[in-house]
């Protein structure tokens, strides 16, 4: 109101612009002048003129209006752009081998967004979701989750070695079976396949705590391992990869899921990330 009065310097024109009556506008102005403890406008037959106090107040008022406009623009940008922090908790194997390509696309498209990333075992990922430390989680295996579940992809399991070209040759080697620790049903799945296939335990085993260690030891010829396709990029030289088959001669595969609470999927940064994932999976042909 004060800004319009200062622009028009005329009570009648200001009242018309503000869609109020002149008496109402005059009364409101008197109340505001009481609040400031000073006359802001002087009336004359020619219209209004600002007092020195009025000039100070109008300068302040215009700064407030300009500031408000900037805030409104920022709010509009928040509603149309992706800001804020995307908090992801992801199984280490996915974080090391699949996620980096997805995150690269995300940060390129949404440079204003920030990323908080937690990696660990699947049980740790679920705990991060329960404790509200992450908006979404990506885990391996079959999740026991009541919230939103989105299946991302399957990848096959392979017997990987520098020498062995068929599973039966395991009986002829003295090199160890290299295994990595896991808290999901991955270990049980491998054990089940092994016992169905060989009816006996491996002769020698080495257990390591990281899948990447297991992979590097295998690639360096220390022993053989069972690795998921997600860890194998097809660039390996002199490495044999034998697919694991079930009782119906079908490839044994691992599932990867995206999980979260319904509320998280209302966030723009989460929606944007999910769209990037869908695009990436379509491009990769998973």
Judged on CB neighbours under 10 Å (0-12, 13-18, 19+), 10 is middle
Average pLDDT estimate for 195-212: 88
- Is the confidence at residue 286, as pLDDT, over 60? no
Question: Angle at the Cα of 88 (from 209 to 80), degrees rounded to 5?
Answer: 160
For residue 237 the two structure tokens come to: 């030289």
Taking a C-beta distance cutoff of 8 angstroms, is the pair 45, 52 a contact?
A: no
pLDDT at 243: 93
Residues constituting the chain: 286
State the Cα–Cα distance between residues 163 and 179, nearest whole angstrom. 17
Domain positions in the chain are 2-80, 87-152+256-284, 154-254
- Is the confidence at residue 271, as pLDDT, over 80? yes
Strand partners, 258: 138, 150
What residue has token string 């297991």? 214
Pick the CATH number of 2-80 from 3.40.1110.10, 1.10.10.10, 3.90.1300.10, 3.40.50.150: 1.10.10.10
Taking a C-beta distance cutoff of 8 angstroms, is the pair 41, 8 a contact?
A: no
For residue 66 the two structure tokens come to: 């300009």
Strands (E), 51-176: 85-91, 114-120, 136-140, 148-161
Mean pLDDT of the chain: 90
pLDDT at 235: 67
- What is the topology classification, in CATH, of domain 87-152+256-284? D-Maltodextrin-Binding Protein; domain 2 (3.40.190)
pTM: 0.69
pLDDT at 136: 95
Give Dmax over CA atoms of the chain in angstroms: 112
Torsion of CA 9, 12, 13, 16, to 10 degrees: 140
């Amino acid at each position: 109101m004060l800004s319009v009065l200062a622009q028009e310097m005329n009570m009648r024109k200001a009242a018309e612009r503000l869609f109020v009556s002149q008496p109402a506008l005059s009364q409101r102005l008197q109340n505001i002048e009481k609040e400031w403890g000073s006359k802001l406008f002087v009336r004359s037959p020619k219209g209004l003129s600002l007092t020195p106090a009025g000039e100070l107040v109008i300068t302040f008022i215009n700064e407030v209006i300009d500031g408000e406009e900037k805030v409104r623009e920022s709010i509009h940008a928040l509603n149309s752009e992706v800001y804020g922090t995307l908090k992801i908790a992801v199984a280490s194997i996915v974080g090391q081998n699949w996620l980096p390509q997805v995150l690269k696309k995300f940060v390129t498209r949404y440079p204003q967004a920030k990323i908080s990333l937690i990696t660990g075992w699947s049980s740790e990922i679920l705990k991060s979701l329960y404790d509200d430390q992450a908006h979404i989680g990506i885990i391996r295996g079959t999740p026991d989750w009541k919230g939103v579940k989105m299946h991302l992809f399957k990848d096959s399991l392979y017997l990987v070695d520098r020498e062995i070209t068929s599973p039966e040759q395991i009986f002829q080697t003295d090199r160890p079976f290299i295994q990595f620790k896991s808290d999901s049903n991955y270990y049980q799945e491998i054990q089940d396949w092994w016992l169905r296939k060989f009816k006996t335990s491996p002769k020698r085993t080495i257990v390591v705590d990281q899948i990447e260690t297991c992979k590097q030891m295998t690639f360096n010829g220390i022993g053989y391992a069972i690795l998921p396709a997600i860890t194998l990029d097809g660039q390996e030289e002199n490495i044999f990869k034998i697919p694991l088959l079930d009782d119906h001669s079908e490839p044994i595969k691992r599932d990867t899921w995206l999980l979260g609470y319904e509320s998280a999927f209302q966030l723009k940064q989460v929606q944007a990330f999910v769209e990037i994932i869908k695009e990436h999976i379509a491009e990769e042909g998973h």
